[in-house]
Amino acid sequence: MGELFALISAGSFSMGSVAIRRGMRTARDNGTFMATFVNMVLFLILIAVLYFCRRMPPLTTIGFFLFLVAGLLTTFSGRSLHYAAIRHLGPSRAISFRMSSPIITVCLAFVFIGERFSLLQCVGTCAIIGGVWVLSKETLKQDGLHVVQDQAPVNPGRAVTSNNSLFVGILFALGSALSFGTGHFFRKWAVMEVPSPYWGMVIGTTAAWVAMVIQAIIKGDLSALCRNNFNGQAPPWLFILTGGLNTIGQMFIYISVFFTAVSTAQVLAASEVLGTFVLSRLFLGSEEPLGWRVIVCGVVICLGVVLMIIG
């Protein structure tokens, strides 16, 4: 069951990446604020139902802290950086870079909770690093990967263009990989302490949204974010859809980690790359140019993740 849940999660996240890119065409932000808000509301409803049905195990202090850290690393920093990378690079390239995250996860799992790390996994690591390196060179040669939008961003003065934009997008994507890789390890550690992925969903997502609010207050963007995302006349439907898809994806990856090894869940989640390729071609068209190098690099990265697991 854990393997099936990981595949469902991958499909949901693939659709969410394409939906968020479409939404960026007319939005002033990257959609993280609204998508995470939808996550939080849905998870709070879920946890309330389960709590009153007495289906929730007791929450320990250590478990709460681990779920909190996992949420900040994945839903807050990881997803924010990933969406920023999608704005600069498009969903296919952004998700390909982010798939290097299992390197971090498997290394941490090996050191702290005793999951295996073998010679074949070293080969897989080399394949991932090689794929990321070639994809970086291909990306820096491209033009027109950033979103062409009808409205100016919240902070237009911070915009970057040309090769600088592409380089920044790659940094965002790799930073997302680092955050997700570390966060997935904390998720596994947390469910070992408190055997309930549902606690992790609500704690992590709520902590992430609160962190986004605090960040927006510090930057002075909160009022603009609220106006753009909670406009009753023109709600950001694609961001809301992304929030729903991410809720499904996050729920099933948590359940998958609960039922199977974190490394196994991650290798199946790597199919998100291939799903994103297909959906990007169907729904983004010329906005998402996919040459043979991008596809080959994506496949090599996926194979590298597989080698890390079967080793």
Summarised one tens digit per residue, pLDDT across range 14-34 is 999 999 988 888 877 888 999
Comparing 153 with 260, the larger pLDDT belongs to 260
Report how far apart, in Å, the C-alpha atoms of 64 and of each of 58, 72, 257 are.
Answer: 10, 12, 17
Secondary element (H or E) of residue 7: helix 2-23
Look at residue 148 in the predicted model and tell me its pLDDT: 57
Per domain, the residue ranges of the chain are 2-144+159-310
Look at residue 277 in the predicted model and tell me its pLDDT: 85
Mean of pLDDT over the chain: 82
Look at residue 161 in the predicted model and tell me its pLDDT: 45
Give the three-state DSSP class for 60.
Answer: coil
* Rounded distance between C-alpha atoms, residue 70 and residue 76, angstroms: 9
Look at residue 106 in the predicted model and tell me its pLDDT: 73
Residue 228 near residue 27 (C-beta atoms within 8 A): yes
Residue 300 near residue 113 (C-beta atoms within 8 A): no
Q: With bands split at pLDDT 50, 70 and 90, how would you rate the model's confidence at 153?
A: very low
* Rounded distance between C-alpha atoms, residue 297 and residue 149, angstroms: 28
Q: With bands split at pLDDT 50, 70 and 90, how would you rate the model's confidence at 163?
A: low
* Rounded distance between C-alpha atoms, residue 39 and residue 9, angstroms: 14
Summarised one tens digit per residue, pLDDT across range 100-150 is 877 777 777 777 766 666 777 778 888 888 888 888 887 777 766 666 555
Look at residue 266 in the predicted model and tell me its pLDDT: 67
